[in-house]
Amino acid sequence: MAGEALYYGTGRRKNAVARVRLVPGTGKVTINGRDALAYFGRQALVNYALTPFKVTDTTDHFDVIATLNGGGISGQAGALRHGISRALLAAGDYRGELKKAGYLTRDSRMVERKKYGLKKARKRPQFSKR
């Protein structure tokens, strides 16, 4: 392991944070010490998180070691995608493709806060005329 190239990236989405390490390898993905499919429980989320590799044609060039915390599985998959994209910036000259695909932008959409007098952020109590 001595002298091997390591690339780091931090991704965020909603309340999820992904700390990502890219190591040159065969495309193995480990999240919190578990296999990606075992962690997410569905292939669609794994595919979504790994799209930066497809865009940059580096599908089996790197092993991903990630630490995810906060949020739910969808937000965590988004955070992982963002983290992988940022780590790929350090790994090579992929900025153009990643930026064009929109993977370098932090998705700023967050849950709107609940307001007093309402049941949720915008849902009002039922109106009664009489």
Query: What's 18's domain CATH number?
Result: 3.30.230.10
Query: Mean pLDDT across the chain, nearest whole number?
Result: 92
Question: Is pLDDT of 1 > 70?
Answer: no
119 assigned to some structural domain: no
Model confidence pLDDT, tens digit, residues 10-51: 999 999 999 999 999 998 999 999 999 999 999 999 999 999
108 assigned to some structural domain: no
Q: Which domain holds residue 48?
A: 5-99
**Integer Cα distance of 121 and 46 in angstroms:** 31
- Give 92's pLDDT tier (boundaries 50, 70, 90): confident
Burial of 88 (0-12, 13-18, 19+ CB in 10 A): buried
105 assigned to some structural domain: no
117 assigned to some structural domain: no
Q: Do residues 94 and 56 make contact, with C-beta atoms less than 8 angstroms apart?
A: yes
120 assigned to some structural domain: no
126 assigned to some structural domain: no
56 assigned to some structural domain: yes
42 assigned to some structural domain: yes
Model confidence pLDDT, tens digit, residues 120-129: 999 999 999 9
Question: Is pLDDT of 3 > 60?
Answer: no
How many domains in the chain? 1
Considering Cα of 43, then 49, then 52, then 58, what sign does the dihedral take?
A: negative
